[in-house]
Amino acid sequence: MSIPPITQFLPKVSVPTKATVALYRKVLAVFYIEERMKAFTRHGKCSFWASCRGHEVTQLGVVSFLRPGHDWFFPYYRSKGTVVGVGLSFRDIFLGMLSREGDPSSGGRNMPEHFSSRRLNLVSRTACVGSQFLPAVGVAKAVKAEGTDAVVYVESGDGAASEGEFFEALNWASREKLPMLFVIQNNGYAISVPQRIQTASSIRKIAEGFGIHAVEIDGTSYECVYETAPDLIRSVRQGNGPVLIEAKVVRLDSHSSSDDQRKYRSEEELRHVAELDPLQQMERWMMENKTISSTEIEQIRREIKEEVDSAANWADAQPGPDVHDLCAGIYAEIKPERTAVPCPRYVSEKSVTFIDAINHGLSEEMQRNPKIVTWGEDIADPKGGVFGVTRGLRDMFGERVSNSPLAEASIVGVAGGMALAGYKPIVEIQFADYLWPAAMQLRNEIPTVRWRSDGAWTCPVVVRIAVGGYIKGGPWHSTCVESFFSHIPGWRIVFPSCAEDAKGLIKAAARSQDPVIFLEHKSLYRLVQAKSLEPDADYVVPFGRGRILCEGTDATIVTWGITVYHALEVARQLQQQGKSVEVLDLRSIIPFDEEMIYESVRKTNRIVIAHEDSLTMGFGAELAARIAANCIDALDAPVLRVTAKDSFVPSAPALEALVLPSVGGLRAAIEQTLLY
């Protein structure tokens, strides 16, 4: 038998009749919802369906002791019992499952089974297995900071407990004694893979290894849930830290509408799990204990079925979602206004470094907004980060500045959760080369929140990332990543090249309603040419506004980051030969200043794009395509690109110089375009 054994549970407390009947009505509702969804799926009206039958008593029983709208809920794709328990209406459930107009969970954007309600604190989720754990930790961190007694409930199946983000969440929750209730529903299978192959130990023991109080219960028995859950929830509310329930349940239906469990489960096993059906167990228990009569059961069944069918029929009659606003909600504003960039008022007589400008900008914004928090590897004092960007901030702002575990997924995912709860995390990834463990959170979780919830949820986190070469850092400390993030809708991406812009853009990021990737080139941190006078606390550089650094008439160079200084040097050299080169600093990658580029091309009729990222699929390719589409009649020469080679960055200085763009290479490109 592949399902985990369910220990016979002998209740020590008497469950009140009223509570039993109330829960029974909800269990019946889940049953009839799933029955209607079977029919809708057979008729092609639902693209994805994952029955929660066998899990419903655990879900409904546990959340019955929680407070929707006060506590927080992170469901997964098999959570209809949970959403019924927290109070999502049957109509709203069917609207979401059928992707119909008025779907309050996502407006038809998200998949079926992905429910959301801001009113109930039911957080919109993705389909990514286990990716809800770290945002749940972030919300719990916010709850603890607010000093309330709210509990953050996060659930999954046993398969998700194999994901690394689950272990990271246990570690962070235990380390900070966060108010979290992990409910892992172990039905013995991750699709077709038995749990014994997934996990070497029991999930309860894994949690205990992280210092978390954990229990294992019969999740098909409401008496067991009733006896166990209240004390555990009370402990969490009292500030005693997280707890984990491993509920042994059964999966009565196939994994999902795309699966047929008869291919990998024997008839004997399926007959056995049917005998453990929580609904049938509940009815037998009520009859044996004379809680309710068979006549009353039939009456309740008719009432609930009629209620569910009415909601299902109503939802089925609704039209499909509006197709005109599909891209609405990806950003707070689809296209920022082209307002004038204010002239800075300087507060320093001497120039400050790029690194100090970021530090001062962070300090001013943390004074301005008490909801700003920051963490990362080694960022707290006395070190203040491996480059010293955050030095002094811990001394100024205390626990709002903290060191994190060496776990990039945690750094970013927890920040995303805290942003969901109304905070403004500004976190640091030490080197761009090491951000990839966080890719799930950076690609699927954070930038999709506003869109997938149809604007109900926002996640305005800022991720600071040290990027770039020219530091002899070799292949693991030299990556530029703007093109990677430019492919992900939802992120604002900025890449300043001087101290003045670094301060103005970090302040814009700190005030943004959207998530922001803030790229800091390591070679600029203390570069003399990147120094400038320091703008005051009110100086903010709007996203999408570039800067003309050098006026010219013969050719244009558009660039960003460290290659700005290559371009300025080329312009200086060619000026001595009577050639006039215009240099544009993009500053902001998403959105970028298209009009500035087009106006310059129409003036000079020639353009070279320079950046440090690789040639193939670098962001320069997008600029070249846009220029060709919008300025073809103004071009007197091909659009050229000067970039890094399609290679990893070598460690040896001579080899590094061959891979990365150079002043000489950029000058050769300008001279080539001037020949036309």
The catalytic residue positions are 477
Angle at 385 between CA 177 and CA 533, to 5 degrees: 130
Pair type for strands 152-157 and 72-74: parallel
Residue pair 383/392 in contact (Cβ under 8 Å)? The answer is: no
Q: Which residue has the tokens 């491996």?
A: 386
In whole angstroms, give the CA distance from residue 224 to residue 215. 11
* Closest of 188, 32, 230, 210 to residue 137, by C-alpha: 210
| Core vs surface per residue 308-333: b (16+ CB within 10 A) or e | beebbeebeeeeebeeeeeeebbbee
- Written as one letter, the residue type at 305 is K
| Core vs surface per residue 647-673: b (16+ CB within 10 A) or e | eebbeeeeebeebbbebeebbebbeeb
The dihedral sign for the CA sequence 79, 81, 82, 83: positive
**Residue 218 neighbours by CB under 8 Å, 6+ apart:** 6, 7, 8, 9, 224, 247, 248
Residue pair 242/173 in contact (Cβ under 8 Å)? The answer is: yes
Question: First CA to last CA across the chain, in angstroms?
Answer: 77
Using H for helix, E for strand and C for coil, what is the string for 489-546?
A: CCCEEECCCCHHHHHHHHHHHHHCCCCEEEEEEHHHCCCHHHCECCECCCCCCCCCCC
SS3 20: helix
Residue pair 498/530 in contact (Cβ under 8 Å)? The answer is: yes
* Closest of 515, 464, 481 to residue 135, by C-alpha: 515
